[in-house]
């Protein structure tokens, strides 16, 4: 009875097998043959799935500067004369970009703060226009005003760290999450974030350019005063 069932099973399997497969099935299939088949499929136009899922349309490419992150603008293009990112791993490049874009955003707000604080009514002087250099205004601000201000800053930084950074003990220190795009913390109340990858890269390049200019500008303001 068992022999009859085995014979019927073999017959069914053979019935659904093409003659070509039967002819080639007599030779053993080694790992090299499997690799050759995969290579032939790739050469034939079958694209292999990307090793890393796209984030905002960006897929890290080791052959490109900074793994293809936007920010290389004319006339200098990719500008790294000291070689900070040369032979750097992806995690390090993402950490550098996170630092650059965050410092740029702070610098843009600081630039406005210098201009507004010196020429408009401020909390430190009873909402009265008090033309004084901005560097001297911080010591004059009451503690009851400056403490909540710094508390809000700390809360925002804690939220940002929780979104983008790997928790201590769960991975290497100072490492961004693999699924996190540097600078994208999901805060977009006006819905300005483009959906297309090309438009998003273009917008981030503009943000980086303005942030770099603001870092130079606020440094000049601080030194001048």
At 67 the pLDDT is 87
* pLDDT value for 188: 92
Q: Which residues contact residue 182 at a Cβ distance below 8 angstroms, ignoring those fewer than 6 apart?
A: 69, 94, 95, 97, 98, 101, 164, 176
The position carrying tokens 């099935």 is 25
**Eight-class DSSP state of 122:** E
3-state percent helix, strand, coil for the chain, nearest multiple of 5:
55, 5, 40
Interacting residues of 52 by C-beta distance below 8 A, sequence separation 6+: 59, 60, 178
Assess contact for 102 and 183: CB atoms under 8 A. yes
Contact 200, 57 (CB under 8 A): yes
Mean pLDDT calculated for residue range 77-87: 87
| Contact between residue 177 and residue 166 where contact means Cβ atoms under 8 Å apart | yes
As given in the structure block, the two tokens for residue 196 are 């297309």
86: pLDDT confidence band, cut at 50, 70 and 90?
Answer: confident
Mean pLDDT (the chain) is 77
d(CA 58, CA 18): 43
Dmax over CA atoms of the chain, in Å, equals 104
pLDDT of 151 = 95
Considering Cα of 215, then 137, then 115, then 203, what sign does the dihedral take? positive
The stretch 46-52 carries a mean pLDDT of 53
The stretches of the chain forming alpha helices (DSSP H) are: 2-15, 19-24, 31-43, 90-119, 143-164, 197-224
Please report the beta strands in 2-96, taking only residues with DSSP state E, as ranges in sequence order.
none
Weakest-pLDDT range from 4-13, 96-105, 151-160: 4-13
**What was the pLDDT predicted at 17?**
40
Single pTM value for the model: 0.69
Would the pLDDT of 58 be above 80?
Answer: yes
**C-beta separation of 112 from 218 below 8 A:** no
Contact in structure between 141 and 117 (CB atoms under 8 Å): no
Look at residue 179 and tell me whether its pLDDT is greater than 60: yes
């Amino acid at each position: 009875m068992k022999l009859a069932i085995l014979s019927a099973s073999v017959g069914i399997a053979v019935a659904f097998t093409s003659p070509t497969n039967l002819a080639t099935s007599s030779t053993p299939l080694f790992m090299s043959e499997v690799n050759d088949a995969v290579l032939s499929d790739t050469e034939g136009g079958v694209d292999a799935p990307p090793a890393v899922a796209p984030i905002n349309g960006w897929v890290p490419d080791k052959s490109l500067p900074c793994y293809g992150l936007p920010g290389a603008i004319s006339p200098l293009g990719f500008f790294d004369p000291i070689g900070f990112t040369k032979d750097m791993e992806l995690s390090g490049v993402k950490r550098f970009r996170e630092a650059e874009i965050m410092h740029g955003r702070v610098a843009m707000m600081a630039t406005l703060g210098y201009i507004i604080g010196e020429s408009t009514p401020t909390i430190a002087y009873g909402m009265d226009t008090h033309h004084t250099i901005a560097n001297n205004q911080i010591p004059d601000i009451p503690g009851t005003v400056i403490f909540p201000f710094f508390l809000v800053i700390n809360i925002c930084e804690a939220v940002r760290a929780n979104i983008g950074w790997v928790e201590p003990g769960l991975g290497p220190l100072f490492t961004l999450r693999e699924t996190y795009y540097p600078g994208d913390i999901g805060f977009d109340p006006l819905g300005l974030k483009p959906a297309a990858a090309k438009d998003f890269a273009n917008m981030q390049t503009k943000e980086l350019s303005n942030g770099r200019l603001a870092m130079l500008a606020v440094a000049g303001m601080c030194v001048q005063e």
